[in-house]
Amino acid sequence: MIKRFRTVAWTASTYFAEGLPFSLVQQVSVQFFTAAGASLQVIGLLSLFGLPWNIKFAWSPLLDLFANKKRWLLIMELLLGGAAAALIWPAQQMNLDLAAKIFVLMAILSATHDMSVDGYYIQILADDAQAAFSGVRVAAYRVAMLVGNGGLVILAGWVSWTACF
For the segment 35-84, what is each residue's pLDDT rounded down to a tens digit? 899 999 999 999 999 999 999 999 888 887 887 888 999 999 999 999 99
Q: Is the pTM of this model over 0.85?
A: yes
Instruction: Give the range among 48-57, 93-102, 112-121, 155-164 with minimum mean pLDDT.
Output: 155-164
Distances in Å between the alpha carbon of 43 and those of 40, 88, 90?
5, 20, 17
Across 97-114, average pLDDT: 97
For the segment 136-151, what is each residue's pLDDT rounded down to a tens digit? 999 999 999 999 888 8
Across 115-133, average pLDDT: 84
- Alpha carbons 109 and 56: distance in angstroms, whole number: 10
- Alpha carbons 126 and 59: distance in angstroms, whole number: 26
* Backbone conformation region of residue 39, classed left if phi is above 0, alpha if psi is from -120 to 50, else beta: beta
**Counts of helices then strands in the chain (DSSP H, E):** 12, 0
- Do residues 84 and 106 lie in contact, with contact meaning Cβ atoms separated by under 8 Å? yes
